[in-house]
Structure 1
Amino acid sequence: MHSAPSVTYPVGRSRGATRILIVLWALGACCAGASCYLLDSAGWRQLLLVLSVAFSGVAAGFGLRRDGAAVLHFDGLCWSLTGADTTRSVRAAQASVALDFQSLMLVRLAEPGRARRWIWIEHRTMPERWRDVRRAVYSRAPSAAPAGDPWRATAPADAP
């Protein structure tokens, strides 16, 4: 079996991820507004609900603004992420797909001893390398032990 190709892919702000986040926030805000409307008494619970919706919107806005351009690289064994913010660079990480919308993927990079990093990968960033990055993300990591001779695994132990 062949291993996945090494690939370099640019990542950064994702319009698709921004749209998903805005839609989810708007749905939550509508549900919070409906519950405040349906409950007669204006008390501390409704105030807490409105403040939590406002705080989550502000936090999401700052989080979206913070995402900068970076380069995701797979060398055949592990993943690395480098970019303008060198304090948050990731080396020797394992990648796993959390969400896959075919043209937009949410990928988790896990590096031993460090916090996980979540990144969005978009097809429109580099369409000519999209299939390569998908193959690399879904590939199994190669084992460290050599495979040996496959034909000897089925041969009898006393065979010459």
Structure 2
Amino acid sequence: MHSAPSVTYPVGRSRGATRILIATWALGAACAGLSCYLFDSAGWRQLLLVLSVLLSGLAAGLGLRSDGAGVLHFDGLGWTLTGAHPGRAVHAARAAVALDIQSLLLVRLTQPGRASRWIWVEQRAMPERWRDLRRAVYSRAPTASPAGEPWRATAPVDAP
């Protein structure tokens, strides 16, 4: 079996991810508005609901603004993420796909002893390397031990 190719891919702000986030927030805000309309008694619960919708929108907006450009690199053994925030660089990480929409991936980078990093990777950033990136992100991580017992040419003989 062949190993996944080494790949370098640019990451950064993603239009697709922004659209998903805005649509999800708008749907939540619509549900909150509908519940406030249906339950006409204006009380602390409705106020708390409206405040939570506003604060989640503010947090999402701040999160979108802080996404910086970077470079994701796979060397055959691990993933490295470098970019605009040198203190937040990730080295020798493992990658796992959390959401795959064919032209947009949500990838979780984990590193021992550190918090996970979530990044959006978009096909339009570098279409010519997209298939290489997908092969690399879905490849199994290399292991130090063999997968199983070596194949034997003969079956063991039981003594009668």
Q: What range is the shorter-chain TM-score in?
A: over 0.9
Number of the residue aligned with 1:19: 19
Deviation of 1:145 after TM superposition, in Å, equals 3.1
Q: Distance in 1 between matches of 2:40 and 2:7?
A: 58
Alignment TM-score, normalising by the size of structure 1: 0.93
Q: Distance in 2 between matches of 1:45 and 1:145?
A: 56
Q: Distance in 2 between matches of 1:40 and 1:82?
A: 51
Number of the residue aligned with 1:131: 131
Alignment TM-score, normalising by the size of structure 2: 0.93
Q: Secondary structure at the match of 1:109?
A: strand
Tell me: CA distance 1:156–1:32, structure 2 relative to 1, closer, same or farther (3 Å).
same
| Amino acid of the structure 1 residue aligned with 2:44 | W
Deviation string 1:6-42 (CA, Å, 9 cap, x unpaired) is 0000000000000000000000000000000111210
Number of the residue aligned with 1:44: 44
The CA RMSD measured in Å over matched residues stands at: 1.8
Q: Secondary structure at the match of 2:50?
A: helix
Kindly report structure 1 stretches of 4+ aligned residues shifted beyond 3 Å: none
Structure 1 unaligned regions, length at least 5: none
Deviation of 1:143 after TM superposition, in Å, equals 1.8
Deviation string 1:105-135 (CA, Å, 9 cap, x unpaired) is 0000000100000000000000000000000
| Amino acid of the structure 1 residue aligned with 2:96 | S
Structure 2 unaligned regions, length at least 5: none
Q: How does 1:120-159 map to 2 (within 5 A)?
A: 120-145=120-145, 153-156=151-154
Deviation string 1:56-99 (CA, Å, 9 cap, x unpaired) is 00000000000000000000000010001011100000000000
- Identical pairs, percent: 77
| Amino acid of the structure 2 residue aligned with 1:25 | W
Q: Distance in 2 between matches of 1:124 and 1:130?
A: 8
Deviation of 1:155 after TM superposition, in Å, equals 2.8
